[in-house]
Structure 1
Amino acid sequence: MRLECIDNVREMEVLGKSILSDDGQILLKSGVVLTDRYLKKLKTLGVYYIYVEDERLEDVKVEDTELTELKQCAIKSLSRVAKNVSLNGEREVKDSIEKVKSLVEYILDNKDVDKSLNDIKTYDNYTYVHCLDTSIMATFLAASLNINKDKIKELATGAVLHDVGKTKISNKIINKTGKLTEEEFKEIRKHPIYGRDILEKKFYMSDIILKTVSEHHERVDGKGYPYGLKGNNISKYGRIVAICDVYDAVSSDRCYRRRFSPSEAYELILAGSGNAFDEDMIMKFRNTFSVYPLGAKIRLSNGIEGYVSGQNKGYPDRPIIRVFDDYNKSSYKEIDLLKCTNVTVKGLS
């Protein structure tokens, strides 16, 4: 399976990974033949990259049917929460929490980061998929920090609800494409407080969830918001989600900007080590997440192009690359960048 820029996908190729809608339904199911109509529709939804089946990379698998079903359930419940949170929808919120905990349980039992992340975000489903991916990243990062399973479930719940406070802010501000006014920016910066208030007063959430929601924009140098907390005065849960929230956000296309490249997003996080983000957690981040997803086509410094077929744990920017013979597509060689130290990745191809 390969990850391909949608402009390079040809008609009659086959979708390799399902795309979810904003209410948890399958917008396009893996295995569907991509017609011109489907491709045009995906472009109008703001989709720039999709997974397509490729017999040359049939051993590179990123779709997990059971995981997709769990994500569907979580997104459906998140959609209901967003619509009912201001109406004291206690049942919907509790249902969402149970769905998230089931998802976390599955992820912790399987621990396959390559299949768990890199879901396709559209303009419509961005909010829910972003919250879910942030939660999944936080789960993996917390596991690498040896946090116990019960606390990870609480953290993951807080992560998936981290932006619930935005339901108290006007959509005109949330969806504004131009520069925010000073007053609008002040209002946006209140959403962690709004979120904590909603969850504490209406739904009696745990302290871990409340800290995760209220502190996900705090920074270890004290330059975050809403409280300007510094260092260890920020809970470890807030520090974990701060990293995951930023990384997933900048890796996604938004109505007001294009996504960062994988290397740019990674460098942004690493550059924040010790100032914006917890230094020890960034070291764990490096050992947990890879820069380039499986199936992505990349260009090397020696001019060679190939597809990511494997990862080297602890070396996020040194994957294993599969390079095909131009004259015989079934013939290929593997380049392990951990062993070829004189070659670097220049970027996506």
Structure 2
Amino acid sequence: MRLEFINRIRENDVLGKSIFTPQGQILLKCGIKLNNIYINKLRELGVSYIYVEDERFEDVDVEDEKLTQLKQLTMKNMSGMVTNLYNCDANKLKKSLDVVKELINYIINMGDVNKSLLDIQTYDNYTFLHCIDTCIMASFLGITSGFCVNELEELGIGAMLHDVGKTQVPIKVLNKKTKLTDEEFAEIKKHPLYGAEILKKIFSIPDSVIKVVEQHHERVDGNGYPYGLTSKQITKFSKLVCICNVYDAVSNDRCYREKFGLNDAYELILSGSDTSFDRECVLNFKNTFAIYPLGCHVKLSNNEDGYIIRQNRGFPDRPVLRVFNEKDYNKGQFHEIDLLDNTKIVISGTIE
């Protein structure tokens, strides 16, 4: 299948990957034939791009049904998890965390990073879904970092719970569309402390998880919050979740700003090496995640355009593309370009 921006979708295109509501429910199921009513409604809801079926890209598989089911189950479980934390109900909380562990263990044993990170949701997708996506990213990054299963579970749970302290911040501050006052920003900066306080009441929560919640906004150069810790004072899990939190946050629309472009979001992480982010974590990030997802329609510096069909591990900006000449576009005739072998050609941007 191929990935196209919403303005390039036409009537009778067939949806290739299901679209979800902010609550994790299916809004439009894959396989449905799109019409202008659906397309315009998706545009109104803030959906920027969607996958569509295309027989020329049958080999580009981006769907993982089991992972989708686990994400939906985790989404439905999130509000109960928070309630159990507040009520200090260790037994019910364990059941909630078992759902998270099932998701993490699926990623460990079966996960494909290229099928895991680009679900299409409507505009208001930030709260619980951000925590789930941060957990998934952290799990993949933890695998690259060589963590064992127990470490990956604690890392993933810490990532899932990293923003739990925001439940203590007034909603009008969290959702404010204009610039925060100094007092409001100071309140926002307390959410790691609020989260740690909540978790410390549950004796079964490991200290490594609490540290992630407390330190996920710390920066290795000491310019983070709430404590201004430097590299040696920040735990390895916290350094890793910090990167995943920032990348997922800037890759999604917020009430006060639009999301970053794919390349800009990625460059933000790479450029932060040794200042905001730990150098080794950034290197592992580069070796784990690609800039442009499978099926993405991009423009090349040689004035051709094509679709990404494979990634080259460790070279996030040098994938393999399938390129159709304009006259042969509907004939299924194409050639492929591996940017790892064609170093004079670069991706200049996405086709919108």
Residue 17 of structure 2 corresponds to residue 17 of structure 1: yes
Pick which of 119-128 and 222-231 moved more: 119-128
Larger deviation, residues 301-310 vs 16-25: 16-25
Question: Structure 1 residues 195-204 or 139-148, which shifts more?
Answer: 195-204
- Is residue 8 from structure 1 mapped to residue 8 from structure 2 by the alignment? yes
Contact kept, 8 Å, 1:20 with 1:72, in 2: the verdict is: no
Q: 2: CA distance between counterparts of 1:255 and 1:36?
A: 27
In 2, Cα distance between equivalents of 1:69 and 1:262? 26
2:152 match? 152
Look up the match of 1:44.
44
Equivalent positions of 1:1-349 (< 5 A) are: 1-82=1-82, 85-88=85-88, 90=90, 93-202=93-202, 204-328=204-328, 329=330, 330-349=332-351
Measured against aligned partners, the alpha-carbon deviations of 1:219-262 in whole angstroms (never above 9, x if no partner) come to 00010011111012100000000001111111112222111111
- Tell me which amino acid in the other structure corresponds to 2:342: C
CA distance in 2, matches of 1:263, 1:91: 44
Give the SS at the match of 2:286.
helix
Listed as ranges, the gaps of 5+ residues in structure 2 are: none
Distance, in Å, in 2 between the alignment partners of 1:193 and 1:314 is 36
SS in 1 for 2:120: coil
Query: Normalising by structure 1, what TM-score?
Result: 0.96
AA aligned to 1:283 is: L
Mapped partners of 2:242, 2:284: distance in 1? 14
CA distance in 2, matches of 1:278, 1:172: 33
Encode CA deviations 1:124-172: one digit per residue, 9 max, x unaligned. Answer: 3322221111111111111111110111011101101111110111110
Say if 1:138 and 1:159, in contact at 8 Å, map to a contact too.
yes
User: How far apart in 1 are the matches of 2:82 and 2:35?
Assistant: 33
| RMSD (CA atoms) | 1.6
Q: Which moved more, 1:247-256 or 1:289-298?
A: 247-256
Change (3 A) 1:90 1:18: farther
Q: Distance in 1 between matches of 2:60 and 2:310?
A: 8
Q: Which residue identity lines up with residue 334 of structure 1 in the other structure?
A: E
SS of residue matched to 2:123: coil
Greater CA drift, 305-314 or 319-328 = 319-328
The CA distance in 1 between the partners of 2:255 and 2:69, in whole Å, is 28
Q: TM-score by structure 2 length?
A: 0.95
8 Å CA contact 2:322–2:335 kept in 1: the answer is yes
The CA deviation string for residues 185-240 of structure 1, in whole angstroms up to 9 with x for no partner, is 00000111111111121464111211111111000001001111101210000000
**Which one-letter code corresponds to 2:155 in the other structure?**
L
The SS at the match of 1:269 is: helix
Q: Percent identity?
A: 52
Q: Which runs of 5+ in 1 are unaligned?
A: none
Moved more, 139-148 or 4-13: 4-13
Which secondary structure state, in structure 2, belongs to the residue aligned with residue 210 of structure 1? helix
For 1:27 and 1:232, the matched residues in 2 are separated by: 45
CA distance in 2, matches of 1:91, 1:183: 38
How many angstroms does 1:91 deviate by? 5.5
Decide which moves more: 54-63 or 31-40. Answer: 31-40
The answer on whether the counterparts of 2:88 and 2:201 sit within 8 Å (CA) in structure 1 is no
Give 2:143's aligned amino acid: A
Q: Structure 2 CA distance, aligned partners of 1:247 and 1:90? A: 32
SS of corresponding position for 2:334:
strand
Amino acid paired to 2:109 = D
Distance 1:127 1:72 in 2: 14
The residue matched to 2:333 in structure 1 has which SS?
strand
- Measure the CA separation in 2 of the matches of 1:121 and 1:23: 10
**Paired AA for residue 74 in structure 2:** A
Change (3 A) 1:296 1:150: same
Secondary structure of the 1:334 match is: strand
Tell me, in whole angstroms, the C-alpha distance in 2 between the residues paired with 1:134 and 1:159.
Answer: 6
Letter in 2 for 1:335: I
SS at match of 1:68: helix
C-alpha change, 1:93 and 1:40, in structure 2 (3 Å) is: farther
Give the match's secondary structure for 2:344.
coil
The aligned length equals 349
User: Post-superposition shift, 1:32?
Assistant: 1.8
1:94–1:32 Cα change, 3 Å: farther
